[in-house]
């Protein structure tokens, strides 16, 4: 589900494929009607709870087929002629299915599969949740579930979601998550639980609220009429009425018992005698009948069943390889004809699985009868999967066979997939951690890939230890392989030759992530010396790490040259986007905003021209475009590109990318006057943060402090400064520049609050020093912000004349690049200064007018929404509406639903509710229609 590999398609099919309807639709109309009634009544949950073999899954699959047929009929019928009850129940109704097993008890995996099931209907649903699930530390469950519920509430159609075999999960965390979901389900979703035992949900409360439809064993038992129809029509038996009644009585209507009994009776002469001797509890009857079924099958079929029981899914070639014969296709067709619990997983009937209960019994019999065969069967399956490029399945079966040597070789060969991102590091780590430690340490290439996977989750110390394991096999120079030893095992000869360069890049990565610039330089240069010219990707990695040392030290011009030089080489290596997003951020800091935008747009066009790119290749580019457009004040374009980046980034599943996306979302939310939403996103980013070589030039704590200052939370910002031990006398450095500029903002805010004599002189001294450092490093983006703060500091002192000097310089630097946000974000104080510049005339009049229009919300971009009323203009209501509230108000006038408005604004549903409550209070109304009417009266719309 989380990967792009075709080898996982059968797994998805097993999980998400809705079983085809059998005869239950004809045989069990009474149960279909009860499920329909619950749907029509708007109940949240249908619970189908009964022991094994009662036909629960088949019933629900048949019901969904009936629902689909009715939905099609209703949608094809005009609203005037359609039955209103049928239309309200079945119009725009869709279904999704998730089959569970014991391995799905991990909360993250359960939620990931849940999202995948819903994405079969709406591909974009739950992308945020999918991304959160990949974080090194799982966020609070309420955060995950609220995000998912918000997405569900935005669904345009109604959905039935089936969770099959829920009883297989022994997971309190999943139970709690499901209880939370059920309690807060939006009306668009109807949940169906299929289980052998009652889940720990608030069923009594749901019953009392008439939110629960229940079908239990007593309901699911075949009636005599249903049993007769099943035995004669489905199983093809010709039985007397008395025999059918006796068998129905003996089985108590148990569907599996009837099916297994029918299979046992096929070919028998003494039907009545068999029925009379048929007795016992379900468990013993099951054992007895399976023995009877297996015993009465031809040896070839019996052997085939047992030897393929270990396969999660079956296709003819795979079966042939495992069983050692060439009639797999004929055997699968025979099993299907004989109703031997074979379930198709695709419409072409190429892949199948056994009924779970039947598979469990077959496996138990295999372990009892032929335990010595189990390992060899797994090994054959592993070989077949490897030969067909399905390496994850090959590894899984090798591990199940306890063939750790083979498994280690396969895992080692899968290592490069970490580099090219075709496999998730977490999955690969799960495999390698199942191997004996000594075996891993004996494999230098495997140890190196182990280290790379650990880097992907930010575990630098563990990665360093694994690199040390790999380095044991180098000679004393540390850059050449030692003489091969009998103890050393290698499965990947190609990467063994490049092992010194692989280790050098990894060591440089760790050093840069830890801020050790000398070691970064040493190892990166070593990697460039070791990697041959044709090793484009490895050399590009080393070059990027060198560029990051320039970036971290504040020499952005040198960093720009390094990244620009290697973008061509990265493009040839297939990883151009990696460098471009970094290059754009560097150019933004250098004050070359338009060039940064052009760089990203050109790269994005290049990547798209190469065919279908990986999500990761475009996600960070869209994110970076969002950041750049935000600087130009184009909030609509910023929101559009950020949403696209988010959709792709959550699919990519890379922790560092999800972190960067949350930072970009926080900045956009702050620009949209949603400081609480911005702070929540920064909190989420903190949880996602992992150590990486990217310099942390904008620490999250400092970003929070800036938002607190905008909110007037001066004490919180002061506490941040004390915790960071910041002082105006600190030595200037680029890595602390953002914090020191934030400190200057804090000191200006303190002066406005307390008017302490001499404090502004201290601020100006700090800003002068920061400006000198920024200009010396060519960081004109930083210089513009510092000049803006100098202007605001003089303004706070009441010296407007002196304030205009740095402001006009900032405007002259910013105008050619189209900067907007850096001015508009300062609010009313900046608007006052810009008005003064405008009245004095000069060459910047047009640019200043554009900024003033943006300050008042009237600037329009080609991709932006219609101009907004000025927040600065008088409004005839008790308290003026903010720019953000006016935007929300216009959307309230539209036909969009609440969830759709929230999605348009890129905020959560709870944040939207806060905005609407404030609007209602200011307008003196209590609902949406009244708010729109009142706003129209006041001329706000």
What digits encode the pLDDT tens for the residues 207-240? Answer: 888 999 999 877 888 888 888 888 888 777 878 7
Whether the CB-CB separation of 452 and 423 falls below 8 Å is answered with no
**Local confidence band at 8 (pLDDT 50, 70, 90 cut-offs):** very low
Tell whether the model's pLDDT for residue 613 goes beyond 70: no
Q: What is the pLDDT of residues 758-790, one digit of tens each?
A: 678 899 999 999 999 999 999 999 999 999 999
Q: Give Cα 726 distance to the centre of its chain.
A: 37
Q: Give the model's confidence band at 582: pLDDT under 50 very low, under 70 low, under 90 confident, else very high.
A: confident
3-class DSSP state for residue 342? strand
- Please check the confidence at residue 535 and state whether its pLDDT lies above 50: yes
Residue 698 pLDDT: 94
The string of pLDDT tens digits covering residues 92-115 is 688 899 989 877 888 888 888 899
Q: What is the pLDDT of residues 349-372, one digit of tens each?
A: 788 888 665 777 788 888 888 999
pLDDT, position 858 = 38
| This prediction's pTM | 0.65
Helix, strand and coil in the chain, % to nearest 5: 65, 5, 30
Lowest-pLDDT range of 492-501, 713-722, 844-853, 872-881: 872-881
- Give me the residue label for tokens 């849940």: 114
Paired residues of 161 in beta bridges:
96, 191
Which tokens go with 884? 């953000």
Coil, strand, or helix at residue 883? helix
Largest CA distance in the chain: 111
Q: Out of 124-133, 280-289, 725-734, which region has the weakest mean confidence (pLDDT)?
A: 280-289
What is residue 903's predicted lDDT score, i.e. its pLDDT?
67
Using alpha carbons, select from 406, 464, 448, 454 the residue that is nearest to residue 429. 454
pLDDT of residue 20: 64
What was the pLDDT predicted at 662? 93
Mean pLDDT of 341-347: 75
Six-digit token string for 155: 């669904």
Model confidence at 486, pLDDT cuts 50, 70, 90, reads low
Q: Beta strand pairing status for 189-195 and 352-354? A: unpaired
Position 886 scores a pLDDT of: 80
> If DSSP codes are grouped into helix, strand and coil, which group holds residue 216?
strand
Instruction: State the CB neighbour count (10 A cutoff) for residue 29.
Output: 13
Contact 678, 706 (CB under 8 A): no
pLDDT at res. 570: 60
Is the pLDDT confidence value at 606 over 70? yes
CA–CA gap between residue 248 and residue 548 (Å, rounded): 76
Say how far residue 762 (Cα) sits from the centre of its chain. 47
Question: Tokens for 786?
Answer: 């510092």
Residue 298: predicted pLDDT: 84
pLDDT band at 701 (very low <50, low <70, confident <90, very high): very high
Q: What is the mean pLDDT of residues 376-403?
A: 93
pLDDT at 863: 33
pLDDT band at 931 (very low <50, low <70, confident <90, very high): confident
Token look-up 């061509």 returns: 568
Whether residue 612 is predicted with pLDDT greater than 60 in this model: the reply is: no
Q: What is the mean pLDDT of residues 852-880?
A: 48
Q: Could you give the 3-state DSSP secondary structure of residue 401? A: coil
pLDDT (mean) for 379-388: 94
Question: Does residue 862 surpass a pLDDT of 60?
Answer: no
Q: Is the pLDDT of residue 263 over 80?
A: no
Q: Is the pLDDT of residue 822 over 70?
A: yes
- Residue 702 has what pLDDT? 96
Does residue 585 carry a pLDDT above 80? yes
Task: State the pLDDT at residue 1.
Answer: 32
Q: In the 8-state DSSP scheme, what is residue 314?
A: B
| Tokens 């609070």 found at | 140
Confidence of residue 871 (pLDDT cuts 50, 70, 90): very low
- 876: confidence class by pLDDT, cuts 50, 70, 90: very low
pLDDT at 490: 83
Q: What six digits make up the tokens of 941?
A: 């719309």
> Residue 304: phi, psi to the nearest 5?
-60, -45
Answer yes or no: is pLDDT of 852 > 60: yes
- Res 724 pLDDT > 90: yes
Q: Residue 6 — pLDDT band, cuts 50, 70, 90?
A: very low
Residue 96, burial from CB neighbour count under 10 angstroms (0-12, 13-18, 19+):
buried
> 68-99, pLDDT tens digit by residue?
887 777 666 655 545 555 555 556 688 899 98
Examine the pLDDT at 807 and tell me if it is beyond 80: yes
Name the residue with tokens 């001294």. Answer: 765
Tokens matching residue 62: 């048949």
CA 792 to chain centre: 42
Is pLDDT at 174 greater than 80 in this prediction? yes
Report the pLDDT value the prediction gives residue 941, as an integer from 0 to 100: 66
Instruction: Report the pLDDT value the prediction gives residue 45, as an integer from 0 to 100.
Output: 95
**How much is the average pLDDT of 484-503?**
82
Q: Percent of the chain beyond pLDDT 90?
A: 39
- Give the pLDDT mean for 36-47: 90
Is 335 a residue whose pLDDT tops 90? no
pLDDT value of residue 786:
97
The pairing of beta strand 212-216 with beta strand 158-164: unpaired
State the Cα angle at 416 between 414 and 418, rounded to 5°: 90
Rounded distance between C-alpha atoms, residue 571 and residue 524, angstroms: 20
> Would you state the pLDDT for residue 284?
44
pLDDT value at 744 more than 90: yes
Percent of the chain exceeding pLDDT 70 equals 82
Q: What per-residue confidence (pLDDT) applies to 861?
A: 37
Query: Could you report the per-residue pLDDT of 669-683, keeping only the tens digit for each?
Result: 999 999 999 999 999
């Amino acid at each position: 589900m989380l990967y792009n590999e075709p080898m996982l398609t059968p797994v998805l099919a097993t999980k998400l494929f809705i079983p085809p309807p059998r005869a239950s639709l004809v045989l069990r109309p009474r149960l279909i009607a009860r499920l329909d009634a619950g749907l029509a009544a708007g109940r949240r949950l249908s619970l189908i709870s009964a022991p094994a073999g009662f036909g629960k899954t088949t019933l629900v699959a048949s019901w969904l087929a009936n629902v689909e047929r009715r939905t099609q009929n209703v949608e094809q019928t005009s609203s005037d002629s359609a039955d209103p009850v049928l239309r309200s129940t079945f119009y725009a109704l869709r279904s999704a299915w998730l089959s569970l097993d014991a391995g799905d008890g991990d909360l993250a995996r359960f939620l990931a599969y849940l999202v995948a099931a819903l994405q079969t209907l709406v591909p974009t649903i739950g992308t945020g949740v999918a991304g959160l699930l990949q974080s090194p530390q799982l966020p609070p469950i309420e955060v995950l579930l609220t995000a998912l519920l918000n997405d569900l509430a935005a669904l345009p159609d109604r959905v039935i979601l089936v969770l099959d075999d829920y009883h297989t999960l022994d997971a309190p965390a999943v139970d709690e998550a499901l209880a939370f979901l059920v309690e807060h389900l939006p009306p668009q979703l109807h949940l169906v639980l299929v289980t052998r035992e009652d889940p720990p949900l608030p069923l009594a409360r749901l019953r009392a609220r008439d939110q629960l439809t229940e079908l239990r064993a007593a309901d699911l038992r075949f009636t005599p009429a249903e049993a007769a129809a099943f035995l004669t029509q489905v199983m093809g038996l010709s039985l007397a009425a008395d025999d059918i009644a006796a068998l129905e009585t003996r089985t108590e209507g148990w569907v599996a018992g009837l099916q297994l009994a029918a299979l046992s009776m096929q070919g028998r002469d003494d039907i009545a005698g068999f029925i009379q001797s048929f007795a016992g509890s379900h468990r013993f009857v099951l054992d007895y009948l399976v023995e009877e079924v297996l015993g009465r099958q031809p040896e070839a079929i019996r052997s085939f069943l047992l030897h393929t029981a270990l396969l999660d899914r079956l296709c003819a070639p795979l079966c042939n390889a495992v069983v050692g014969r060439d009639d797999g296709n004929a055997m699968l067709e025979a099993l299907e004809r004989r109703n031997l619990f074979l379930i198709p997983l695709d419409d072409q009937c190429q892949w199948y699985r056994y009924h779970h209960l039947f598979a469990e019994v077959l496996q138990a019999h295999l372990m009892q009868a032929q335990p010595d065969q189990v390992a060899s069967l797994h090994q054959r399956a592993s070989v077949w999967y490897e030969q067909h490029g399905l390496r994850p399945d090959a590894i899984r079966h090798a591990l199940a066979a306890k063939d750790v040597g083979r498994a280690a070789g396969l895992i080692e060969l899968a290592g490069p997939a970490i580099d090219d991102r075709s496999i998730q590091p977490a999955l690969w780590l799960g495999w390698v951690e199942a191997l004996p430690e000594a075996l891993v340490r004996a494999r230098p290439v495997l140890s190196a890939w182990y280290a790379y996977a650990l880097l992907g989750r930010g575990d630098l110390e563990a990665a360093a230890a694994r690199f040390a394991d790999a380095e044991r096999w180098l000679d004393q120079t540390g850059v050449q392989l030692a003489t091969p030893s009998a103890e050393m095992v290698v499965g990947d000869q190609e990467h063994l030759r490049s092992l010194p360069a692989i280790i050098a890049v990894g060591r440089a990565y760790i050093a840069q992530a830890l801020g050790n610039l000398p070691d970064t330089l040493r190892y990166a240069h070593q990697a460039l010396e070791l990697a041959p010219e044709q090793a484009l990707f490895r050399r590009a990695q080393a070059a990027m790490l060198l560029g990051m040392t320039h970036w971290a030290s504040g020499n952005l011009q040198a960093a720009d040259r390094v990244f620009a030089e290697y973008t061509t080489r990265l493009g040839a290596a297939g990883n151009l986007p990696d460098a471009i997003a970094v290059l754009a951020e560097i150019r933004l800091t250098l004050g070359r905003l338009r060039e940064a935008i052009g760089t990203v747009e050109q790269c994005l066009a290049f990547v798209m021209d190469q065919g279908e790119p990986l999500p990761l290749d475009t996600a960070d580019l869209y994110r970076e475009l969002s950041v750049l457009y935000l600087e130009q004040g184009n909030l609509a374009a910023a929101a559009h590109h950020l949403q696209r980046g988010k959709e792709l980034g959550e699919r990519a599943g890379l922790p560092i990318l999800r972190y960067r996306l949350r930072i970009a979302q926080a900045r956009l939310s702050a620009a949209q006057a949603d400081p609480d939403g911005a702070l929540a996103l920064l909190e989420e980013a903190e949880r996602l943060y992992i150590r990486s070589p990217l310099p942390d030039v904008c620490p999250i704590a400092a970003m929070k402090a800036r938002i607190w200052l905008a909110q007037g939370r001066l004490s919180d910002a002061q506490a941040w400064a004390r915790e960071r031990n910041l002082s105006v006398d600190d030595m200037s450095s680029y890595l602390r520049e953002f914090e020191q500029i934030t400190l200057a903002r804090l000191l200006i805010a303190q002066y406005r609050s307390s008017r302490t004599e001499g404090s502004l002189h201290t601020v100006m001294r700090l800003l002068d020093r920061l400006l000198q450092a920024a200009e010396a490093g060519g960081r004109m983006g930083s210089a513009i912000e510092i000049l803006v703060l100098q202007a605001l500091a003089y303004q706070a002192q009441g010296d407007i004349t002196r304030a205009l000097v740095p402001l006009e310089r900032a405007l002259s630097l910013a105008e050619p690049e189209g900067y907007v946000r850096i001015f508009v974000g300062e609010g009313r104080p900046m608007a006052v200064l810009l008005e003064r510049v405008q009245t004095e005339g000069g060459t910047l009049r047009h640019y200043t007018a554009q900024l003033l229009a943006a300050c008042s919300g009237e600037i329009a971009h080609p991709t932006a929404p219609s101009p907004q009323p000025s927040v600065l203009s008088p409004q005839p209501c008790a308290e003026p509406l903010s720019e953000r509230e006016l935007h929300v108000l216009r959307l309230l006038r539209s036909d969009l639903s609440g969830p759709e408005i929230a999605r348009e604004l890129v905020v959560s549903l709870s944040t939207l509710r806060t905005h609407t409550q404030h609007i209602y209070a200011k307008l003196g109304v209590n609902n949406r229609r009244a708010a729109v009417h009142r706003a129209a009266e006041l001329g706000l719309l």
